[in-house]
Amino acid sequence: MSSANIQEIFRSIQGEGLYSGVPAIFVRFSECNLRCGYCDTKRSWRKTKHCLYQPVEFSRRQVRVPNDISAEDCADMIFWLAPQGLVSFTGGEPLLQAKYIAEVIKLLGTKYTYLIETNGTLPQALKYLPEQKNIVYSVDLKNQKFVSFYKAIPKKSQKYIKIVLEKDLDITNILAMLKSLRVASATNPLFLQPIDNKLDKKQLQKWMYILDKSGYKYRITPQIHKSLRLK
Ligand code: SF4
């Protein structure tokens, strides 16, 4: 069994994307291969001595568990929070720990849906994950590596695309990538996410015009955990 440096494990409400509003257990891994300026989890870029485990959702009580955490212990902590439901592997970049995630999934079995919130830049990591229907990839569209990543997602797994509405978003380039993959937005919904729930309406108007013209269906979704003041 392998081990991993984990920032925190807790239960809250999924705040983004397809599962927005669904109760979820979050496993936040340390370290990321990118350095996005708008990142709201910069503290996760570095390893940490202790994983903060919140044994009861929304409570202030936290247990400091020394890092690194074995896959077995991680699976146990998830199970004690809820014996079924949604598990969100997040970060940092969770796919830096792809082998470890595969071990945790194997230990926990089929009672959970596993959401992997990835920046979509590590296609080589996907070979470690099993081909299962209950694994869902929330893929950020950040750069050109998205194309090879999206192609490498196991066929049985589900996936959707998240686009963070940065000021300098190159929507034309994004559309070119989606078209090259023949991504149809009816089956692969596009989630457009404002940074910190703030929108520049003029810019949004421009992006909506371009997306409408190209026939893409999309949803503009705020991060509800921030509106609800949850973690
Ligand atoms: S990929 Fe995600 S975790 Fe990594 S720096 Fe960018 S926003 Fe932060």
Q: Which ligand 1 atom sits nearest the alpha carbon of residue 164? A: 7
91 annotated as a binding-site residue: no
Mean pLDDT of the chain: 92
Name the residue at shortest CA distance from atom 6 of ligand 1.
Answer: 36
- Which pLDDT value is given to residue 185? 63
Residue nearest to atom 3 of ligand 1 (CA): 92
User: Which ligand 1 atom lies nearest to the CA of residue 140?
Assistant: 1
73 is in an annotated binding site: no
Distance 216 CA to ligand 1 centre (A): 25
Does pLDDT of 194 surpass 70? yes
Q: Looking at residue 192, what is its pLDDT?
A: 92
User: In ligand 1, which atom is closest to the CA atom of 32?
Assistant: 4
Q: Is 41 annotated as a binding residue?
A: yes
Does the pTM exceed 0.85?
yes
Look at residue 183 and tell me whether its pLDDT is greater than 90.
Answer: no
Cα separation of 141 and 67, whole Å? 31
CA–centroid distance, residue 213 to ligand 1 (Å): 30
Instruction: Give the pLDDT confidence score for residue 55 in this predicted structure.
Output: 94
Gap from CA of 90 to ligand 1 centroid (Å): 10
More confident residue, 53 or 172: 53
Given ligand 1 and candidates 28, 33, 36, which is best to mutate, with the most ligand atoms within 8 Å of its CB?
36
pLDDT tens per residue, range 18-51 = 999 999 999 999 999 999 999 999 999 999 999 9
State how far the Cα of 131 lies from the Cα of 127, in Å rounded to an integer: 9
Does the 3-227 domain belong in CATH 3.40.50.150? no
| Domain boundaries, given as residue ranges, for the chain | 3-227
- Look at residue 127 in the predicted model and tell me its pLDDT: 97
Is residue 15 a known part of a binding site? yes
Number of Cβ within a 10 Å radius of residue 60: 6
Q: Give the residue, 170 or 33, on which the prediction is more confident.
A: 33
Q: What pLDDT score was predicted for residue 178?
A: 87
Q: Is a pLDDT exceeding 90 seen at residue 96?
A: yes
Is the pLDDT higher at 97 or at 1?
97
Which atom of ligand 1 is least distant from the CA of 38? 7
